[in-house]
Amino acid sequence: MEFLGYPRPDGTVGVRNHLAVLASVFCANHVVENIAHQVPGAVPLTHPLGCSQVGADLEQTARTLISLGRHPNVGAVLVVGLGCERFPAQELYAGVAASGKPVEMVVIQEAGDSLRAVEQGTRLARRLMEELSRQERESCDVSHLTVGLKCGGTDATSGIAANPAVGVMSDLLVQAGGSTILTEVTELLGAEHILAQRAVNPDVGEKIRATVARMEERLRRAGSDPRFSHRGALISPGNMDGGVTTVVEKALGGITKSGSAPFVDVLDYGERIKKKGLYLLDSPGHDGESVTGLVAAGAQIVVFTTGRGTPTGFPIAPVVKVTGNPTTYQRMKENLDYNAGAIIEGEKTIAQAGAELLAEILAVANGKRTKAEILGHRELLCIARL
């Protein structure tokens, strides 16, 4: 299998060819947005971090921002910093430049003020966009494709239709030499032994168990204060209304997104994949944090199952929305890309739906726009904090 993508100097392949205007710190967000607004097609990447962080927390932010700048769907980057932040723009610039792609930088305090920074950045961004416009898609092997696996707004149909169909797609892609990444560790509690049994070796199995155990301990500490016991539920009201009432129920349905392939390793948040296969990413279940982690790991496309329905998207990676609920699909057609509810209605098997999903993934890799892209949804950029 092949797709038409954009080869990058570091050997990765993009399914999109974005110019990213990337803030090193939240203080630069407004300048980033103004520059991107002046250059049609430029994508602003803003966030609330980059300063007043220390230690591992700041390192995680730095690692994630560099990974986003180096993402294969990004053909060129304009880094924008303030000038006094703890994560300096120069470090972000150097980290992205190591990938070999075109990178420029604007520092607001050096430019003189935000107006001058916008003017300087707009000129640089226009030159970068002109360079990107000359790039053309090339035929690439499917082994260059990495797909992130995510669910949100879960109901009972997610675990019995949408997620199993995604699992078939995942197996087919891995068998063809590609990669997939499972995450949302907060929602794997009670199923870690099943995942560990699928590890390629005992060391990876132990990493899976330890990753889930650490997350469980964090949740235990967070929920042990009796003052906040009324906010301690790990299952949302929407999950309960949809027929998912316990963490284990949700976990047993959620892990089916990963199919049956062996897990080759566990990734830290912001860490990029190094070999082909199925991974577990250490991330909380928050939709934005987990999707950002998947994209930072190298996923060019994210498959997002939802029984209740959600419109959200990501700035630089297409998000393919899949529902197992036929009613939700009819109600939210403008936000959802694939109706796995045909499984419940007896019109398709799980295997048929999984094969169709892989075909949809390849179509998106070739340039088909997802519903979230068409409508301009970019809400899912949200870097996790320690």
> Which tens digits make up the pLDDT trace of 355-372?
999 999 999 999 999 999
Give me the percent of the chain exceeding a pLDDT of 90.
87
Residue 16, C-beta contacts closer than 8 angstroms, at least 6 positions apart: 6, 73, 300, 316, 317, 318
For the stretch 69-96, pLDDT in tens is: 999 999 999 999 999 999 999 999 999 9
Mean pLDDT rounded to a whole number for the chain: 94
State pTM to two decimals.
0.94
With cut-offs at 50, 70 and 90, classify the pLDDT of residue 238.
low
Judged against a pLDDT cut of 90, whether residue 113 lies above it is answered with: yes
Q: Which of 238-242, 250-254, 337-341 has the highest mean pLDDT?
A: 337-341
pLDDT score for 235: 58
Distances (CA, A) of 222 to 131, 231, 249: 49, 10, 21
pLDDT score for 280: 98
Q: How far apart are the first and last CA of the chain?
A: 39
d(CA 334, CA 351): 25
Mean pLDDT of 128-133: 96
Higher pLDDT: 116 or 241? It is: 116
d(CA 280, CA 283): 9
Backbone φ, ψ for residue 355 (5° rounding): -65, -40
